[in-house]
């Protein structure tokens, strides 16, 4: 029976128009699938490199310590500007930016929106105007001896109560001013820290953006580059189709072919063993025959000599002893022959089972090479096709709008250069700003220090019952410090209020118009307003039909979504269509049906060889080893000592001494021959019996071995006849499915990678948040905290001036005295009144 069957192999056709450029991506990760093909069916695919996300720098900004001021500042600003974000007003200004100053209606709307700030500005301006005027008139009035300028203090019973009330009022007011001054120092330092950190943090943020923008094309290119590994793996599978597919076919044949070959090998080994044993047996029989010939010759010589002696005239009763000599006739004892069995064994040996085994094994081992030879053309054409696909895959990036993403890189580089270029100027300006703010803080602190010195020295040097004209220098110095505090307040407060107004307008409006809407998302939505920023049309730039704005991108990037969903790339590239495996596998299957795999034929056992084995089994099992054993037993039954004893008795009856001696010599020779038989022939007979038993045992097994061979070979032959075609087709289909499984596995992996891994834009939202934190949460917050604290101090300068001026008279030394004695009861004397008529 032959093993020649036909099976279809596979071939890919050249790409047609249906295979668009991006369709080449279908093979991009053929061998990079996360789930490997089924165990033992497909060779292991090359494992992909880990798809790692880029590493970004930490852009977290340290706490500047102004958070405690955020609540009151925000509350104040929300009270000042309670109106919502002026989207429509800004759009009007944008549309009429050239004529905004001449548009009275537009100016009116702006003033209405800023009415809260205008009220505060009016109050500030009123403060700026009145404070120096009031100070000037107060100074003139005191110089004229009014408004407390006269150094005379009337002593009354409530003077001490008034002094204490004024003291604690001035003390509390000074504490409040000191608290505001401390907040000024802290907010000024916080603003310095924010400004110092901002360039570094901005640089890190821009670097993260650069890393992200650079990584997106790299990730896509990584995907494209991995196609080389994939195509190389698939090409390797094609080039090794002989070993892969042929080995699978071999494995399917082994289940029935191996037992058949194994039984033939065992039979061949048994035949060899029989041949060896038979050769050994024949050699032993030849030796036995030689020994028997020698014994027979010796016995015949003795017998002839006895007959000669008996025929002599001097021999008494010679004729009567002649029948005894018949016992010396050994010619009927023959050595058995194995020629018949030898001929059967020789026939089997001539068949050369080992060569038949080698022939089948050579055929079995040649299956991979036969598969290789039959698929040479399809492998060549498919390898060329894979090379073409590799070229097409490199064009995949053209379908993705990456240029719009990478174009930002140049802008970021320029921004980084500008930041680096402006760093010295920023540091210089910040140092000047910090110095000016420190000077402002020190002016407020000067007033606080004067107040505290007056509040400390005044009570320390005051004797309550002492004459006002005789107050101590310490008390007088305390009063002077209180007056200095009031003077400095008048002198600097209006200037500091100008600072408050400028910073209030700047910081307050930045908070209400930028930071607050930025924080709640209104600013980003406002930026998405069509036409607000010329050329800003993300949907058009990406080539998508839907509407996508910066706020939408920020929202998705805040969730660290990939660019596929963030930029709606599914509207640009139909990934579902690209990853539709079935429409490509159908064409591959059609090409697969056009290629054949032809295996040459081989016959396990011919009919003639089966007949010879059957004959060998029959003769080996039916061979009469008992007869041979019986013949050998006949030889072992020879006993010449009995005849020698009879010859000795007959010799003793002879009267002639010569006859007697001759017969006795013959008896001795017979005994000597018997000794030779026992010493030579009997051991040979024992060895022959052992060899015959072993040969008989092996021969008896031969029947079972031949039966096993015929059964196994028949079963294998029947299996190959019935299943070879199906096996080749099944394994060929399995090989094809193995390649197609790469498509399916790729589709899953590619869909997951492209839609969930490539271009996770969390750094974009992080950059926006960093800008917002740097600008608003720290710089603007610090600035607002500073002017709020300074304004706080300016407001409390007014009661501080009043309390300080009034309190100073209780500590300064008076020029005129007014003695009041607590022990004298002073009664009011009523005046006379005229009665009207």
Run of H or E including 723: helix 682-756
Going 793 to 796 to 801 to 803, the CA torsion angle's sign is negative
Q: Which residue has the tokens 């009144």?
A: 833
- Within a domain: 545: no
13 closest CA partner among 369, 390, 384, 368: 384
What is the pLDDT, as a whole number, of residue 506?
Answer: 93
Q: What is the pLDDT of residues 146-176, one digit of tens each?
A: 665 555 556 666 677 888 898 999 999 999 9
- Within a domain: 155: yes
Residue 28: pLDDT band (50, 70, 90) is very low
Top-ranked range on mean pLDDT: pick from 2-11, 432-441, 640-649, 700-709: 432-441
Q: Is 57 left (phi over 0), alpha (psi -120 to 50) or beta?
A: beta
- Within a domain: 455: yes
Residues 223, 291, single domain; the answer is no
Domain limits at 93? 68-113
Q: Assess whether pLDDT exceeds 90 at residue 824.
A: no
Mean pLDDT calculated for residue range 86-93: 83
- Within a domain: 762: no
Q: Assess whether pLDDT exceeds 60 at residue 581.
A: no
Q: Assess whether pLDDT exceeds 70 at residue 675.
A: yes
> Can you tell me whether residue 592 is helix, strand or coil?
helix
Q: What is the distance between the alpha carbons of residues 356 and 604, in angstroms, rounded to a whole number?
A: 7
What is the pLDDT, as a whole number, of residue 30?
Answer: 31
What is the pLDDT, as a whole number, of residue 150?
Answer: 56
Q: What is the distance between the alpha carbons of residues 806 and 812, in angstroms, rounded to a whole number?
A: 11
What is the pLDDT, as a whole number, of residue 385?
Answer: 62
What is the pLDDT, as a whole number, of residue 5?
Answer: 35
Residue 535: pLDDT band (50, 70, 90) is low
Contact 117, 510 (CB under 8 A): no
CA atoms within 13 A on the CB side of 21: 11
Contacts for 69-72 with beta carbons within 8 Å, 24 or more apart?
A: 69/183, 69/187, 69/781, 69/784, 69/785, 69/788, 69/789, 70/781, 70/785, 72/788
Residue 33: pLDDT band (50, 70, 90) is very low
Q: What is the pLDDT of residues 283-318, one digit of tens each?
A: 777 777 787 788 788 888 887 887 787 777 777 766
More confident residue, 722 or 837: 722
Find the range with the poorest average confidence among 500-514, 579-593, 684-698.
579-593
Instruction: Say what percent of the chain tops pLDDT 70.
Output: 68
Strands 6-9, 595-598: parallel, antiparallel or unpaired by DSSP?
Answer: antiparallel
What is the pLDDT, as a whole number, of residue 176?
Answer: 95
Residue 742: pLDDT band (50, 70, 90) is low
- Within a domain: 812: yes
What is the pLDDT, as a whole number, of residue 143?
Answer: 75
Find the range with the poorest average confidence among 139-153, 582-596, 712-726.
582-596
Residues 728, 614, single domain; the answer is yes
Q: What is the pLDDT of residues 304-358, one digit of tens each?
A: 887 787 777 777 766 667 676 676 665 545 666 666 677 777 767 766 677 777 7
Going by C-beta distance under 8 Å and a sequence separation of 6 or more, which residues neighbour residue 716? 256, 257, 259, 260, 604
Residues 610, 743, single domain; the answer is yes
Residues 222, 299, single domain; the answer is no
Residues 606, 732, single domain; the answer is yes
Residues 141, 225, single domain; the answer is yes
Last residue of a domain, one of 113, 133, 150: 113
User: CA 585, 591, 597: angle at the middle one, nearest 5?
Assistant: 120
Residues 72, 108, single domain; the answer is yes
Mean pLDDT calculated for residue range 571-590: 64
Q: What is the pLDDT of residues 225-279, one digit of tens each?
A: 766 666 677 677 777 777 777 777 777 777 777 777 777 777 777 777 777 777 7
Residues 622, 730, single domain; the answer is yes
Mean pLDDT calculated for residue range 773-788: 89
Contact 16, 388 (CB under 8 A): no
Last residue of a domain, one of 704, 732, 754: 754
Residue 604: pLDDT band (50, 70, 90) is low
Residues in the chain: 837
- Within a domain: 25: no
What is the pLDDT, as a whole number, of residue 448?
Answer: 94
- Within a domain: 394: no
Residue 817: pLDDT band (50, 70, 90) is low
Residues 89, 132, single domain; the answer is no
Task: Give the mean pLDDT of the chain.
Answer: 74
What is the pLDDT, as a whole number, of residue 797?
Answer: 93
Residues 605, 747, single domain; the answer is yes
What is the pLDDT, as a whole number, of residue 36?
Answer: 33
Run of H or E including 646: helix 640-652
Mean pLDDT calculated for residue range 83-100: 78
Residues 618, 714, single domain; the answer is yes
Find the range with the poorest average confidence among 47-51, 339-343, 350-354, 805-809.
47-51
Residue 77: pLDDT band (50, 70, 90) is very high
Residues 747, 681, single domain; the answer is yes
What is the pLDDT, as a whole number, of residue 552?
Answer: 84
Domain count, the chain: 3
Mean pLDDT calculated for residue range 107-114: 88
- Within a domain: 673: yes
């Amino acid at each position: 029976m032959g093993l020649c069957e036909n099976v279809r192999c596979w071939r890919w056709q050249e790409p047609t128009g249906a295979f668009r450029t991006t369709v080449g991506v279908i093979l991009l990760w053929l061998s990079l699938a996360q789930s490997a093909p089924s165990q033992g069916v497909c060779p292991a695919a090359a494992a992909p490199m880990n798809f790692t996300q880029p590493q970004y720098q930490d852009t977290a900004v340290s706490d500047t310590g102004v958070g405690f001021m955020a609540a009151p500042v925000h509350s104040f600003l929300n009270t000042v500007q309670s109106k919502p974000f002026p989207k429509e007003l800004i759009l009007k200004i944008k549309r009429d930016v050239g004529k905004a100053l001449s548009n009275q209606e537009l100016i009116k709307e702006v003033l209405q929106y800023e009415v809260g700030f205008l009220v505060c500005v009016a109050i500030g301006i009123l403060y700026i105007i009145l404070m120096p005027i009031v100070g000037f008139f107060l100074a003139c009035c005191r110089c004229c001896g009014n408004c407390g300028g006269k150094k005379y203090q009337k002593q009354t019973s409530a003077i001490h109560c008034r002094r204490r009330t004024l003291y604690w009022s001035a003390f509390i007011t000074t504490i409040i001013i000191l608290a505001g001054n401390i907040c000024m120092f802290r907010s000024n330092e916080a603003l310095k820290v924010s400004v110092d950190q901002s360039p570094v943090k901005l640089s890190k943020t821009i670097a993260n953006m650069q890393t992200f923008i650079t990584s997106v094309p790299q990730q896509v290119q990584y995907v494209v580059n991995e196609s080389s590994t994939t195509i190389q793996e698939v090409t390797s599978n094609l080039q090794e189709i002989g070993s892969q597919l042929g080995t699978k076919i071999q494995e399917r044949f082994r289940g029935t072919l191996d037992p058949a070959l194994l039984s033939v090998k065992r039979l061949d080994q048994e035949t060899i063993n029989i041949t060896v044993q038979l050769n050994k047996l024949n050699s032993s029989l030849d030796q036995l025959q030689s020994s028997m010939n020698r014994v027979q010759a010796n016995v015949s010589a003795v017998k002839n000599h006895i007959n000669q002696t008996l025929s002599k005239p001097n021999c008494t009763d010679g004729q009567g002893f002649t029948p005894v000599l018949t016992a010396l006739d050994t010619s009927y004892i023959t050595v058995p022959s194995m020629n018949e069995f030898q001929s059967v064994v020789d026939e089997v040996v001539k068949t050369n089972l080992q060569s038949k085994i080698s022939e089948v094994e050579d055929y079995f081992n040649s299956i991979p090479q036969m598969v290789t030879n039959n698929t040479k053309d399809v492998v060549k054409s498919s390898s060329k096709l894979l090379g073409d696909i590799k070229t097409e895959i490199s064009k995949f990036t053209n379908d993705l709008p990456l240029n719009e993403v990478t174009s930002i890189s140049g802008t970021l580089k320029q921004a980084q250069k500008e930041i680096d270029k402006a760093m010295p100027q920023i540091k210089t300006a910040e140092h000047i700003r910090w110095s000016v703010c420190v000077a402002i803080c020190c002016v407020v602190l000067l007033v606080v220090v004067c107040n505290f010195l007056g509040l400390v020295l005044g009570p320390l040097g005051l004797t309550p019952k002492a004459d006002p004209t005789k107050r101590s220098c310490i008390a007088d110095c305390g009063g002077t410090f209180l007056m200095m505090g009031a003077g400095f307040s008048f002198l600097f407060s209006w200037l500091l209020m100008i600072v408050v107004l400028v910073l209030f307008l700047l910081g307050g409006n930045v908070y209400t118009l930028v930071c607050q809407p930025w924080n709640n998302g209104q600013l980003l939505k406002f930026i998405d307003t069509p036409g607000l920023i010329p050329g800003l049309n993300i949907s058009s730039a990406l080539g998508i039909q839907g509407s996508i704005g910066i706020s939408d991108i920020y929202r998705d990037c805040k969730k660290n979504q990939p660019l596929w969903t963030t930029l709606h790339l599914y509207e640009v590239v139909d990934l579902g269509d690209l990853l539709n495996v079935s429409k490509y596998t159908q064409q591959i299957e059609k090409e697969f049906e056009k290629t054949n795999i032809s295996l040459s034929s081989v016959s396990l056992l011919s009919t003639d060889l089966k007949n010879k084995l059957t004959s060998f089994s029959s003769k080996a099992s039916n061979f009469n080893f008992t007869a041979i054993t019986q013949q050998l037993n006949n030889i072992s039954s020879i006993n010449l000592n009995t005849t020698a004893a009879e010859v000795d008795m007959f010799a003793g009856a002879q009267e002639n001494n010569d006859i007697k001696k001759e017969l006795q010599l013959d008896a001795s020779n017979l005994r000597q021959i018997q000794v030779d038989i026992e010493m030579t022939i009997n051991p040979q007979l024992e060895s022959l019996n052992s060899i015959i038993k072993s040969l008989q045992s092996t021969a008896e097994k031969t029947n079972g071995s031949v039966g096993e061979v015929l059964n196994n070979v028949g079963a294998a032959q029947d299996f190959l006849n019935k299943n070879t075609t199906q096996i080749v087709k099944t394994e060929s289909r399995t090989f094809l499915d193995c390649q197609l499984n790469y498509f399916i596995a790729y589709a899953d992996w590619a869909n997951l990678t492209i839609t969930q891994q490539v271009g996770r834009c969390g750094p974009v939202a992080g950059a926006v948040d960093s800008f917002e934190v740097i600008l608003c949460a720290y710089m603007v917050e610090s600035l607002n905290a500073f002017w709020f604290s300074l304004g706080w101090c300016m407001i409390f300068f007014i009661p501080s001036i009043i309390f300080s001026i009034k309190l100073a008279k209780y500590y300064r030394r008076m020029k005129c005295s007014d003695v009041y004695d607590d022990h004298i009861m002073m009664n009011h004397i009523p005046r006379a009144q005229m009665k009207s008529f």
